[in-house]
Structures are given as C-alpha cells and as structure tokens.
Amino acid sequence: MARGALPAPAALAAKTAPIVDSRLLGRIALLGAAASGYAVILTPLLFVCWLSFFSNEIVSFPPQGYTLRWFAHIFDQNNFVSGFITSLQVGIVAMVGGLVLGVPASLMLARRRFPGREALNTLLVLPLVVPGVVAGTAIYVFQIEVEIATTLPLLGSLAGLALAHIMITIPWTVRLLTASLVGFDRSIEEAALNLGATPLRAFVQVTLPVIKPGVVAAALFGFIASFGNLEMTLFLVAPGQTTLPIAILQYLQWRIDPTIAAVSLLQIVLIGGGMLITDRYVKLTRVL
Amino acid sequence: MARLQLSALTKMYGDVRAVADVDLDIREGELVVLLGPSGCGKTTTLRMIAGFVAPTSGAIRVAGQDVTRQPPWKRNTGLVFQSYALFPHLSVAENVAFGLRMRKRPEQQVVAKLEDVLRLVRLQGLANRLPRELSGGQQQRVALARALVIEPDILLLDEPLSNLDAKLRQEVRVEIRELQRKLGLTTVMVTHDQEEALTMADRLVVMSNGKVQQVGSQRDLYENPANTFVAGFVGRTNFVRGHVEAPGLFRSETGLGIRCHHGADAKCRMLSLRPERLSLSMAPVAGAENCFPGTVEFASYLGGILEYYVRLTPQDRLMVQSPNSFADPAYAIGDRIHLHWPAQAGLVLADDGGSTS
C-alpha cells in the first residue's frame, strides 16, 4: 500500500525513536511526581477516615473490628458540642468582618496607585506568615492593655476572639478579592454610571455580581482559616471556653481513642461539602 | 436629542495638554465624527462629554444647559463602548433595561420599550441570552440598544466598529447611520478609521495633539485641507517641500517649478498633490500646466485603480492613481513616461510636521 511506497520507513523510525523515548520518560516522571504529591496529601486524610471506624479503644493495628460508636460518642462530649458552636460563631463573624474590611482594601490595592502600595500589600499577608503563637501573645498583651485603658471586658469575650480571627482571615480575603478585581473590566462600571446608576448602585448591581466567585471564595477561605485556628486561639479563650480545635487538643491529652478521628472526619465532610455545594453555584476554580 | 456645545474645552494631565481649547457646536440630530490618530485627544473629549473626565477648563452645554460639573449618572448621554462593556451577568433584556430601571420607570413601560428597541436592532429572539452567548455583531447591537433605550440627549460612540470584522463593519456602519437619522439623535462618534468617518459623518473634526485641526464636511477636508496634517490624514497625498516663488508658481527644493493656484503666504512651504489628480502619458502633453518627464518605479494593480510610483528627480517620487479604464494603457516598471496635472491640483499648505505620513 501507500505505506510501502515510502522510501525508508525504518530509517525514519530509527531517527524518531529516541525522541519518543524521552517524551515517554518525561510523561512517566510527571505522573510519578503528581502521584507522590497526591499520596502525601491524601494518605493522612484516608488514615483518619479509616481510623474513625476502628472498634479498638486505643488506636492500634490491625483493627479488631469496625463500629460507628465513636461518632455517637462525639455528641456525648459537651466540650466538642460547645467548641463546635463557638468555632462556628467566631468563624462566621470573622468571615463577615474579613469581607467588610477586605473588599475596600482590595479595591484600593487593585485599582489605585499610591505610595506604599506594595508595602501595604505585603503587610496584609503578614498574618499568614507570623507564627500563631507570636500573634496570639501579641494580641493577648494588646487586649489586656486595651482592657486596662478602657475597662471593656475584651479578653476572653467572644467579641475579642472574633476580632483576632478577623485578622487571620484578611490575607485570604484580600488576596482572593484582589485577584478577581485585577482582571475586572472597568468599562462595565462606567457603562452603569452612564446609564444612570450612582457609584454605589453600580458597585452593588454590577461590580459585586461580576466578582462574586472571588467574594464567595474569600468568604469560604476566611471561614476555614478561622475555624481551624488553634495556636493563636489558645491565648485568647477564657477559662472554660473552647473552640473545636482546642476541644480536640484537650481530649487528646487524656485519651487516644478514635473519637478524634471521627471529629476530624466530620470536619472534613463539613468543609469539603461546603466547597462542593458552593462550587455548584459559583465556579471557584475560576479564582483559585 | 439636543444641541451640544463645547467651548474652550481643555484637559491637562500634569503639563500635557490632552485636549486644548476645543470649540464645537453640534446641531440637533447631527452626527459629528472626531477623527485622529491615537493620542490625539478625541477619546478624552468624548469622555468629558460623558462625564468620566473632568475638564480642566471650558464648558459643556447640552440643550443650552451647562453640564460641565454634572456627574455621569446625571447626564442623559448614551455611550456605546469600544469593548461594548455589556454586563456579563445579565441577560440581553436586563442589559438593555438597566438604564430604564435606574430611572425607575414602571415595569409596563420597561417591557414595552424593551420590545421596541430590540426590534429596532433586530435582537427580538435573543432577549434571554447572556452576552457571552452572542456573536460580536450581536453584542454590538445590544450595546447600541442599551444606549438608545434611555432616549439619550446625546449618543456617544467610542470606536463602535473596531471590534467587528471588515465585512460586518461596512454593514453596521450603514445600519447605525440610518438608525441615528431615523431617531434624529445628536451623535458624537470617535474613530481613527477615516473610511468609517467619511461614510458616517455629517461633519468631521480632525484632531491632532489635543487640538482641533479642522472642522468641515468630507469635501472640505479633502479639497481644502487646513494644513499638511489634515491633507495627509484624510485620504492620501504627495508632499513636495519648497516655497512660493511667485503667485501661482511653487519652487520645489529640488528645483522643479510647479504651477499651482493657491497660496502666496510665505510661511507655507509644502505642496500637496492628490495622487488621483495626476495623469500619465507616453508623450509630453502640449498645453498642460504641469508636465514633467519621469520613470515608473513601481506599479500595483488594485482592481479598480492602478497605482504607480513615478521618479521625477533623484529626490522626488510621486504616487499616482489612475482609473483602470480601457482608455488608459497600463504602464510597467521602467517605462519612461510623462506626468502631467492641472495647476488647481496643487495646494500650498502650512507645514505642521504631519507631512511624513
């Protein structure tokens, strides 16, 4: 056939063969790297999930059997329930507070050129970089000073805790909102103004809906950052007051039964589910 | 629709005069095109009319009323953006209705007007689509409908056709122009495309370096350009540097004595010769006011016209366009020919540095 008419297919194959080999090698290397990346991330998660169903009192291999009683056990622990409620309350306040502060800050950073812009940009990411213990100590001291000066009962109050948590949501909200504002076509805001919208209406009816994926992502990550925070929170809770991460830590000091794994699994399901549901309405992949 | 007056409109950015002393009086229902290269100040002028740029000095009046200090949302202008700037999260119908909703029109009226304007721009079936589901031409019509539905005092078009492909552009040009006439809308359009400007305008304003170079009809600009910038920007032309030696005689720097009609002004040092006003012949033409021997250096066959570059002297090369008629022979590169033209083809102009084009 036509193939046989080609002058020297063997010579051609010999020439191209090494190239194909190195490509294949590259593909295998890439796959290997991706697989080990996934393994590092997923192995601990899978183990936690598995462990939560072990029937052993003390976590050990191999499992003697499987049970769901640890999940029931969570709800017998007052600490877990009240810790979850506190974490939820603080997380929601921090999320909203982070957005209220983050939106105007991002608008300035994304749209205005002013001296110190770069410095401000870096400063707002700082809560992510400063160790939680350091931030916790600093805020602890600061809140004591404020309390002495104003006699407001700040330290140990839910408000004091929420204020501190707003700080740790800021790097997330500002980053995610700035990213979605940078690609924003300003002429559509001008179109709204031209059609009779005041700047506020243009922002609410045009800008916000268009950057909605960024806002939702900012809210979600702000909440997660607050919900999972342990180190800083340890310094700021009142005696007897707990958040969920603190309740887990306290439980771990005395017992190592699979209840902890069950709590973690619930937390993973809760946050993972939240992300999946959100993603159905707003394409988070567009901003993340 | 309303009369639009700009008086001594100026915008400074630091020391740079983006727009300098622009005076314009635009009649009700007139379509005026601001034409010029990028950076000439035409878009800044348009944005001042819309209210997005605050003038440094000067005034803008709509129907006799000073709107210079009014914010954009209080001016009743309809702007069609170059990028269309459709609201990506709203349907065609909601995009178009946006201006009516801002004006708090009753729902019944919104629906009726929406239907009218969508029919006007032939988008009836697409009311529920999102902008990203439309073609470029359809998006352009949505942008136009959105600006028209508010019945603006002034319609502003910012390079409205530059994102359409060439064939569609020609259709939409005519479409917009007919619509604008039918509705009697006072319109200011900005473009750098001279063909677009010539097709659509009642009157043209040629701008360069923030200044108005000339205001006039298509014919005014082409036949009587105010300076070399206008002559070079509107249509194509040949420039010959030299001076007016005697009334009716221009002496080029290379020594050619060219008969021309205009100009005794000592400042005018440039002669403009439109390529289609020049003619070629094999033999010298007896009685021609200007006739010079030359050589064809380059010839292009462009269908309707034939274009030649003719060398007269080592420094002078002129572009010539002849109609592709059966009467005229086609010349080839290397042909030794004679170039002739009447005195009235030569315009002596002030050189403002725009002659390089």
Distance CA B155, CA B46 (A): 10
Put simply, the answer to whether B150 touches A196 (Cβ < 8 Å) is: yes
Reply yes or no on whether the pLDDT at A15 is more than 70: no
Distance CA A72, CA A244 (A): 17
What pLDDT band is residue A4 in, cutting at 50, 70 and 90? Answer: very low
- Residue B97 DSSP class: H
Instruction: Express each pLDDT in B195-208 by its tens digit.
Output: 889 989 999 999 99
Structure tokens at A7: 């002058």
Put simply, the answer to whether A209 touches B89 (Cβ < 8 Å) is: yes
pLDDT value for A288: 58
What is the least distance, in Å, from the CA of B103 to any CA of chain A?
A: 7
- Beta-strand ranges (E) seen in chain B are 4-13, 16-26, 31-35, 57-62, 65-66, 77-80, 154-158, 186-191, 203-208, 211-216, 238-246, 249-252, 257-259, 270-273, 279-281, 290-301, 305-311, 317-323, 336-341, 346-349
| B contact test, residue of A180, A195, A203, A281 with most B CBs within 10 A | A195
Reply yes or no on whether the pLDDT at A3 is more than 50: no
What pLDDT band is residue A59 in, cutting at 50, 70 and 90? Answer: confident
Rounded-to-10 torsion of CA B227, B231, B233, B235: 170
Put simply, the answer to whether B102 touches A209 (Cβ < 8 Å) is: no
Q: Give the residue ranges of DSSP H helices in chain A.
A: 2-5, 9-51, 69-76, 78-111, 117-123, 126-129, 132-150, 158-182, 187-194, 199-202, 208-210, 212-227, 231-236, 244-254, 259-281
User: Which H helix or E strand runs over B228?
Assistant: helix B228-233
pLDDT value for A155: 80
Reply yes or no on whether the pLDDT at B105 is more than 70: yes
Using alpha carbons, list the distances in angstroms from residue A69 to A73, A75, A189, B222.
6, 10, 56, 92
Fold annotation for A71-286: MetI-like fold (1.10.3720)
Structure tokens at A207: 């800008």
Structure tokens at A107: 């608008």
User: Which H helix or E strand runs over B197?
Assistant: helix B194-200
Put simply, the answer to whether A193 touches B73 (Cβ < 8 Å) is: yes
pLDDT value for A51: 83
Distance CA B209, CA B17 (A): 8
What average pLDDT does this structure show over A26-34? 92
**Closest alpha carbon to B280 in B346, B344, B332, B222:** B332
- Which residues contact residue B287 at a Cβ distance below 8 angstroms, ignoring those fewer than 6 apart? none
Give whichever of A148-152, A232-236, B201-205, B260-264 has the largest mean pLDDT.
B201-205
What average pLDDT does this structure show over A221-248? 86
* Coil, helix or strand at residue B142: helix
A190 near B CB under 8 A: yes
- Residue A207 DSSP class: I
Place of tokens 């243009």: A202
Span of A1-15, B182-196, B273-287 with lowest mean pLDDT: A1-15
pLDDT value for B290: 93
Q: Name the closest residue on chain A to residue B154, using Cα atoms.
A: A194
The CA radius of gyration of chain B, in Å to the nearest whole number, is 25
pLDDT value for B357: 37
The beta-carbon neighbor of B72 closest among A193, A206, A212 is: A193
A200 near B CB under 8 A: no
Instruction: Express each pLDDT in A191-208 by its tens digit.
Output: 999 999 999 999 999 999
Q: Name the closest residue on chain A to residue B152, using Cα atoms.
A: A195
Q: Name the closest residue on chain B to residue A201, using Cα atoms.
A: B102
pLDDT value for B31: 95
pLDDT value for B172: 86
Question: Which chain A residues contact residue B103 at CB under 8 A?
Answer: 196
CATH number for B228-356: choose from 2.40.50.100, 3.20.20.220, 3.30.70.260, 3.30.1360.180: 2.40.50.100
One-letter amino acid of B45: T
Instruction: Express each pLDDT in B74-88 by its tens digit.
Output: 999 999 999 999 999
Share of chain A above pLDDT 90, in %: 24
Cβ-based neighbour number of residue A212 at 10 Å: 16
The string of DSSP codes covering A32-82 is HHHHHHHHHHHHHHHHHHHHTTB--SS--SS-S-B-SHHHHHHHH-HHHHH
Distance CA A234, CA A237 (A): 6
Reply yes or no on whether the pLDDT at B26 is more than 90: yes
Partners of B78 in the β-ladder: B155
A195 near B CB under 8 A: yes
Q: For the purposes of burial, counting CB atoms within 10 Å of the CB of B170, is it exposed (0-12), middle (13-18) or buried (19 or more)?
A: middle
Put simply, the answer to whether B88 touches A196 (Cβ < 8 Å) is: no
What pLDDT band is residue A5 in, cutting at 50, 70 and 90? Answer: very low
In this structure, are residues B140 and B148 in contact, taking their beta carbons and an 8 Å threshold?
A: no
- Our measurement of the distance from residue A32's CA atom to the centroid of its chain's CA atoms, rounded to an integer in Å, reads 27
Instruction: Express each pLDDT in A78-92 by its tens digit.
Output: 888 888 888 999 999
pLDDT value for A152: 81
CATH number for B4-223: choose from 3.20.20.80, 3.10.350.10, 3.40.50.2000, 3.40.50.300: 3.40.50.300
Q: For the purposes of burial, counting CB atoms within 10 Å of the CB of B325, is it exposed (0-12), middle (13-18) or buried (19 or more)?
A: exposed
Q: Please state the domain extents for chain B.
A: 4-223, 228-356
The average confidence (pLDDT) of chain A is: 84
Instruction: Express each pLDDT in B107-143 by its tens digit.
Output: 999 999 999 999 988 888 899 999 999 998 899 999 9
Reply yes or no on whether the pLDDT at B356 is more than 70: no
One-letter amino acid of B292: F
The beta-carbon neighbor of B73 closest among A185, A198, A210 is: A198
Reply yes or no on whether the pLDDT at B354 is more than 70: no
pLDDT value for B353: 55
User: What would you measure as the largest C-alpha separation in chain A, in angstroms?
Assistant: 96
How many CA atoms lie within 13 Å of B266's alpha carbon, on the beta-carbon side?
0
What is the least distance, in Å, from the CA of A211 to any CA of chain B?
A: 10
Length of chain B: 357
Distance CA A255, CA A59 (A): 10
**Closest alpha carbon to B243 in B226, B268, B276, B222:** B268
Structure tokens at A249: 């830590």
Distance CA A70, CA A91 (A): 26
Structure tokens at A129: 């970089």
The beta-carbon neighbor of B88 closest among A192, A201, A210 is: A210
Distance CA A206, CA A57 (A): 57
What average pLDDT does this structure show over A13-26? 68
pLDDT value for B97: 94
Question: Which chain B residues contact residue A195 at CB under 8 A?
Answer: 73, 78, 98-99, 102, 146, 150
Distance CA B122, CA B126 (A): 9
What is the least distance, in Å, from the CA of B203 to any CA of chain A?
A: 25
What is the least distance, in Å, from the CA of B254 to any CA of chain A?
A: 52
Partners of B139 in the β-ladder: none
